[in-house]
Structure 1
Amino acid sequence: MISSEKVGKRIAMLRREKKLSQEQLAEQLHVSAQAVSKWETGKSLPETATLPLLSGILGHSIDSILLPQELTVLSAVYTDGYEQQDVTHFVNQFITGSKLTLAISDQIFPQSIHSDRCKLLIVKYETPAGIYSTYVLKDQHLAIDVHSKGYTLGKSELEIVHAAYGNEHASRDVLGKMKHYAYFQWPHFTIDQELFPSGMGHEGNEYLLLVYLNADGIHALSCMEGEQVHYSPDRMRLFAGGSSRQHYIAENAGRLGFGKGMDCSWAGALYTSLSAMGVDTRYEEVMGVSGACWRVAFAPVWDYSSADALVAYDYAAPAFSAYGLKASWANRLTPEERRREKLQIMESLHKHHLPVALNLRVAPEWGVITGYLDNGSTLLCRSYFDDETFSELQEDPEFREAMEVSKGYLYVDHWPYKLLYIERHGPIRSALDSLYASLQVKLDSMQAGENHGYRLGYSALAAWTEGLLDHAWYQAADTDTFTRRYSVNHFCLMALNDARRSAAAYLQASLPLLQNPAAYAILGEMTTVYEQIYTLLDHFFSHMKEPAALQQAQASPKQLWDQSQREQQAELLQTVAALERRGDELAGRLLEYKENSRG
C-alpha cells in the first residue's frame, strides 16, 4: 500500500540529493511549488501524469519513489575523478531482495568515460539503520545489503580514504604518502616527480587519484603530473588548480567533411563533441531532437551561409535540453578577450569536452577544437575542410611529421568568431518528450517567415523558387556570377537533402516510442511523407553536376545549368512545400494527442 507520508519523505530526500529547491523542482515539473510542498509533507501524492518526469529528474524509478525499499541507492556516480556520470537510476535496477551486487566495468554502464584515468563508482545509499557512502574501483565488485555500513556522513574534517598514482593500466598505492604530506597542512601542492616518482617502465600519462570523505559524502579528484591540488579555505574540499602542461590532445575525434552523411556542419560538430564526451547518440538523432532536420533557410541574395543551421533560428536550445547539457557561448571576441578565452578552451579540453567553433579553417563552417600545443599558442581541430589538405599533403614529409605530433589533427587557422562549450548539467529529457519538442519546432520554424535577412520555412522555399524562375537574371549574368549562384544552389540543396534524410531516419527511429495505435499510425504516415521528400530530393541532387564541373568545363556554364533544369528544380521545391504542409498536419495531430493524453 502506498503511504503518502513515506512517499513525501522520499521525494524530499531525493530532491535534496539533486541539490534542487522545491521551487526549482516545481519549475522542471511544470507544477507549483505548493504542490511539491504538499507531496513532501504527505498531504497529497503526485498526479500519475507527472510521475514519469519526476522519475527522470530525481533519477529513480516510479516504483522506487512510490514503494520505497529497505535498501535504496540515493546517488551513484561513475567517475574518473575528472568527469562523471550520474548512474543512480541504472544502479537501482540491480537491487534484488534488498541486496545490491554489481561488477564495476566500463562496459556495464550506459555511457563510457573515455580516458586512461583510474575509474570508480561512488554510492550513497539508505538502509533502515541510516545513510552511508561507499566506493568501488573499476574491476571490483560492489556488494551492499540492509546490514551494510559504509562511511557515515557528517565528517567534521576532510579524510583521504584512497590515493593512487598511475593510470587504469597500472597504479600504485600512495595513501601513506598523502597522510604524511597532510601533516604539513599545505594549502596546495604540485604533482611532480619529487612528491610522486614515476615507476620504471610505466606507459602513458600518470595521474594522482584522491578519494576523500567530507560532510557531504565521498568525492574523487584526479590530476595529471604538473597540475596542482588545492584545499578549499575550510579544508573540506579538494580541487584542481593550474597546470604546467605544454600540450593536451583529445584522441579519437571523428573526421568531418561534406559528403560523409553529416552535411549540416553544426550538427556534425555537435555530434562529434557529444561522442567525445561519451554520449551515445547518432548524427540523425542530433538533427532530430534539435529540430534542424526540419530546417530550410534561404537568403534572397543567394549566399552560402543559408545552409548554416543556426543563422536564422535557434535549433541549439532544443538539443541542449534533449541531452541535459549546460551550454555557454563566446562570440566575436576582442584580442584581450581571446587571450582569456584560450584558458577556457584549455580547461574545457582537459575535461575531454571539445569546444564547438565556427570558422576554424578555410571558410565559416562549424568544427571542433580537439587540443592544443605550445601551452595553448597552437590550437588543433577537426573541420569540414580537412580532407582537401590531407589529400594535397599526404606525401609531404614535413606534414606527416607534424601530424605525428598533433595525432592527426590540423592546426586552427582562424580565431573562431563563435565558440560553444557544452557539459553535462541536468536530467536528460525523455526521447518521447524530445520528439514532441522537435515537432513543435517544425511547426514554428516552417512558419517563421524571415529573420536577419534570411527567409525561413515556406517563405524560404517560395523565395528560392522565385529566384530559380527569374529568367532575365540568368540571361544577363556574367559567367562568374552565374557560376557562383549555381554553387550556392548546389550547397543549399545538399543541406536540404541531408536535413530531410535525417528527418525520415529520426521519425523511423521514434516509432517505438508511441504505444497508442492511433498515434503510432500518425507518426508512421509522417515517416512515409519524409521518406518521399528525401527520395525526391536525393534523386534530383544526385543528377546535379558538381560546381567545379561548371568552372572547368569548356562549354558555357549556362548550357550546363539551363532554364529547363531550373524549372524542374522549382517544380520540385513546390512539391516539397506541399508535402511539408501534410507533414505539418500530422505533426499538429500528434501534438494534440500529447495534450489530450496528458490532460
Structure 2
Amino acid sequence: MISSEKVGKRIAMLRKEKQLSQEQLAEQLNVTAQAVSKWETGKSLPETATLPLLSSVLGHPIDGILLPQELVVLSAVYTDGRDSHDVTHFVNQFVAGNKLSFTVSDHIFPGCLSGDRSKVLILRYETPAGIYSAYALKEQLLTIDVHSKGYTSGKSGLEFVYASYGNELIHRNVLKKMQHYEFFQWEHFTVSHELFPSLIDNEGNDYLLLLYLNAEGIHAVSCAEGEQIHYSPDRTRLFAIQPSRQHYIVENVGRLGFGQGMDCSWAGAFYLSLSTRGIETTYEQVMGVSGACWRISFTPVWDYSSADALVAYDYSAAAHKAYGLTASRANRLTPEERKQEKQKLMDSIRKHQLPIAINLRVAPEWGVITGYLDNGDTLLCRSYFDGETFEGLHDDPEFQSDMRVSKGYLYVDHWPYMLMRFDSQAHIPSALDNFYASLRVKLDSMRADDNRGYRLGYKAFDTWCEGLLSSRWYQDAETSDFGRRFGVNYFCMMALTDARRSAAAYLKASLPLLQHPAEAGALAEMAGVYEQIDALLEGFYKGMTDPASIEPGVSPHPFWTNEHRSRQAELLQTVSMLEHRGDELAKEILGNSQRHAQ
C-alpha cells in the first residue's frame, strides 16, 4: 500500500539531495510549488502523468519513489576527479531485495569518461540506520545492503579517505602521505614527484586522485603533475588549479538589480564594465550616447524580451564608438569555440576589461563577468538576479564560505549565448559629436522597420496600445495567459520609464554643449519635453501593481482592469505624440549643426 507520507519524505530528501528548491523542482516538472509542497507534506501524491519526469529529475525509479525501499541510493557520481557524471538513476536499477552489488566498470557506464585518469564511483545511500557515503574504484566490486555502514558526514573540516598517484593502469596508494601532509596545514601545494614519487615502471601520465569526506559526503578531485591543489578558506573543500593563471577576480564591482535606477540590463552591465575599466561615466550617459534612452520595441505576442535594449535594434554600436572601444562579439558558440573564447575571457578579466554577456544566471538578461576560478572552469559574475540569492542565503554558512572564495560574486550558471569583450580604446569622439550621433539614432530607431517579429518606435507604441484595448482577448484569456501578459506589461513599462528618465537626464546634462542660440533653445525645449514624458510615465508606473507582489494563487484580474488598460493606452498615445515633438526638435538641432559646420 502506498503511503503518501513516506512518498512525501522520499521526494523531499531526493529533492534536497539534488540541491533543488521546491520552486526549482516545480519549474522542471511544469507544476506549481504548492503542488510539490503538498507531495512532501503527504497531503497528496504526484499525478501519474508527472511520475516519469519526476523520476528522471530526481534520478530515482518510479517504484522506488512510490514504494520506498529500505536501501535507496540518494546520489551516484562516476568521476575521474575532473569530469563527473550523475548516474543515480542508472545505479538505482541495480538495487534488488534491498541489496546493491555490481562491479564498477566502463561497461556499466559506457561513454561517461575517457582518458587515463583513475575512475571512481561515489555514492550516498540511505538505510533505516541513517545516511552514508561509499566509493568503489573502477574494476572493484561494490556491495551494499541495509546493514552496510559506510562513511558518515558531519565533519567540521575534511578527512581524506583515499589517495592515489599514477593513472588508471598503474598507481600507488598515497593516503598516508596525504594524512602526513595535513600536519603542515598548507593552503595549497603543487603535485610533483618530490611529494609523490612516481612508480619506476609508469611510462604514462601521473595524476593525484584524492577522495575526501566533508559535511556533504565524499568528493573527488584530481590534478596532473605540475598542477596545484588548493584548500578553500574554511578547509572543507579542495580545488585543482593549473599553475598559470589559476584564478583572477576583479574586486569591488557594484551590484545590479531591477528597481535600482538601472533597469536596462545591457546598459547596466556595460556601465559596470566601463567603471571597472576606470572610465568615468554614468548609467544615464551610457543610455544617452548609445541611444538606448530612446528605445521602445514591442511584439504582438507580448514577450518579456521586448524590454531588452538590443533585441531588435543595435544601440551598442553607438555606445562602443562613444567610449572609443572596439567590441568583439561571441554568439552561440560551439563547444570547441568556447574553449578558445574562455582564454580570451580570462585575458580580458586580467586587464580589468570586464566582458558583458546575456543569460549568465536565471534568465536571459545582461550581466558582467567579474572573474574566474579553476583556470576559467568557473566564471564569476554580477547579474540582475543576484539580490534574491544573497537575501535567501544570507545566513547559510556554506554559501558564505563560497562567497569568501569568490570575493562576493555568484557563479555563472550558463555559458552565455551572447557575450562582448572590449579591446583597447581607440579615438574617442567629443561629447558634442556623441550627442549628435544619439539624436540620429533616435530618429532612425523610432521609424525603423520590424526586426525579428518586433515592432520598433511608433509602431511599437501602436501595437502595445492595440493589445491593451483588445477587450475581447482579456475576456476570453486563460488566467495563466492573462497573468503572463500582465507581467510583460509591467516589465515593459519599467523599461520604457527607465529609458525616458535617462533621456531627460541626458538631454539636461547636454545643455552646456550647444552654444548657438537656435540649437540651445531647441535642446532646452526638447529637454522639457522629455522631463514631461518622464513625469507622466513615472507617475503612472508608480501606481501599477508589481506582479511579484501578488500572492501565488491570487488572480491578477482585479489589479489590471479594463479601466487600467484604457488609462495606460491613453498615456502611451500621449507619450507618442510628445515623441513626435521630440523628433521635430532633434531634426532642428541636427539641421542647425550642419548649417553651422558649413
Which TM bucket (shorter chain)? 0.5 to 0.7
Q: Is the 8 A contact 2:448 2:456 kept in 1?
A: yes
Amino acid in the other structure paired with 2:459: S
Q: Is the 8 A contact 1:326 1:424 kept in 2?
A: yes
CA offset digits 1:309-329 (Å, max 9, x no partner):
001111011111111001110
Ranges in structure 2 where 5+ consecutive residues have no aligned partner: 1-225, 227-241
- Please report how far the alpha carbon of residue 548 of structure 1 lies from its aligned counterpart in structure 2 after TM superposition: 2.2
Which residue of the partner structure matches residue 407 of structure 1? 407
Which residue of the partner structure matches residue 428 of structure 2? 428
CA offset digits 1:454-484 (Å, max 9, x no partner):
0000000000000000100001111111011
Change in 2 beyond 3 A, CA 1:243/1:432: farther
Which residue of the partner structure matches residue 296 of structure 1? 296
CA offset digits 1:497-530 (Å, max 9, x no partner):
0000000000000000011122111100000000
Q: Is the 8 A contact 1:358 1:365 kept in 2?
A: yes
- Please report how far the alpha carbon of residue 449 of structure 1 lies from its aligned counterpart in structure 2 after TM superposition: 3.3
For 1:340 and 1:551, locate their aligned partners in 2 and report how far apart those are by CA, in whole Å: 46
Which residue of the partner structure matches residue 589 of structure 1? 588
Q: Does 1:386 align with 2:394?
A: no
Which residue of the partner structure matches residue 352 of structure 1? 352
**2:369 partner SS:** strand
- Please report how far the alpha carbon of residue 299 of structure 1 lies from its aligned counterpart in structure 2 after TM superposition: 1.0
- Please report how far the alpha carbon of residue 574 of structure 1 lies from its aligned counterpart in structure 2 after TM superposition: 0.2
For 1:549 and 1:349, locate their aligned partners in 2 and report how far apart those are by CA, in whole Å: 38
Runs of 4+ in 1 over 6 A off after TM superposition: none
**1:368 partner SS:** strand
CA offset digits 1:352-402 (Å, max 9, x no partner):
111100000000000010000111111000000000000000100000010
1:450-461 equivalent positions in 2, closer than 5 A: 450-461=450-461
For 1:313 and 1:353, locate their aligned partners in 2 and report how far apart those are by CA, in whole Å: 25
Amino acid in the other structure paired with 2:421: Y
1:237-256 equivalent positions in 2, closer than 5 A: 244-256=244-256
Which residue of the partner structure matches residue 572 of structure 1? 571
Q: Is the 8 A contact 1:293 1:503 kept in 2?
A: yes
Q: Is the 8 A contact 1:483 1:551 kept in 2?
A: no
**1:451 partner SS:** coil
Ranges in structure 1 where 5+ consecutive residues have no aligned partner: 1-225, 227-241
**1:267 partner SS:** helix
- Please report how far the alpha carbon of residue 553 of structure 1 lies from its aligned counterpart in structure 2 after TM superposition: 6.6
Q: Is the 8 A contact 1:257 1:263 kept in 2?
A: yes
Change in 2 beyond 3 A, CA 1:345/1:243: farther
**2:392 partner SS:** helix
TM-score (norm 2): 0.59
- Please report how far the alpha carbon of residue 243 of structure 1 lies from its aligned counterpart in structure 2 after TM superposition: 7.2
For 2:537 and 2:546, locate their aligned partners in 1 and report how far apart those are by CA, in whole Å: 16
Amino acid in the other structure paired with 2:390: F
Which residue of the partner structure matches residue 598 of structure 1? 597
Q: Does 1:449 align with 2:483?
A: no
1:196-275 equivalent positions in 2, closer than 5 A: 244-275=244-275
Number of residue equivalences: 358
Q: Does 1:377 align with 2:377?
A: yes
Change in 2 beyond 3 A, CA 1:520/1:553: farther
For 1:273 and 1:540, locate their aligned partners in 2 and report how far apart those are by CA, in whole Å: 32
For 1:451 and 1:256, locate their aligned partners in 2 and report how far apart those are by CA, in whole Å: 28
Q: Is the 8 A contact 1:551 1:557 kept in 2?
A: no
Amino acid in the other structure paired with 1:311: V
For 2:243 and 2:538, locate their aligned partners in 1 and report how far apart those are by CA, in whole Å: 50
Which residue of the partner structure matches residue 336 of structure 1? 336
For 2:247 and 2:549, locate their aligned partners in 1 and report how far apart those are by CA, in whole Å: 43
TM-score (norm 1): 0.59
Which residue of the partner structure matches residue 277 of structure 1? 277
For 2:289 and 2:531, locate their aligned partners in 1 and report how far apart those are by CA, in whole Å: 18
For 1:427 and 1:344, locate their aligned partners in 2 and report how far apart those are by CA, in whole Å: 23
Which structure's CA Rg is the greater one?
2
Which residue of the partner structure matches residue 306 of structure 2? 306
For 2:424 and 2:564, locate their aligned partners in 1 and report how far apart those are by CA, in whole Å: 48
For 2:340 and 2:317, locate their aligned partners in 1 and report how far apart those are by CA, in whole Å: 26
Q: Is the 8 A contact 1:550 1:560 kept in 2?
A: no
Q: Is the 8 A contact 2:323 2:425 kept in 1?
A: no
For 1:370 and 1:542, locate their aligned partners in 2 and report how far apart those are by CA, in whole Å: 33
For 1:273 and 1:377, locate their aligned partners in 2 and report how far apart those are by CA, in whole Å: 21
Amino acid in the other structure paired with 1:385: F
CA offset digits 1:261-285 (Å, max 9, x no partner):
0000000000000001000000000
Which residue of the partner structure matches residue 50 of structure 2? none
Amino acid in the other structure paired with 2:261: G
CA offset digits 1:176-217 (Å, max 9, x no partner):
xxxxxxxxxxxxxxxxxxxxxxxxxxxxxxxxxxxxxxxxxx
For 1:246 and 1:425, locate their aligned partners in 2 and report how far apart those are by CA, in whole Å: 27
Which residue of the partner structure matches residue 486 of structure 1? 486
Which residue of the partner structure matches residue 512 of structure 1? 512
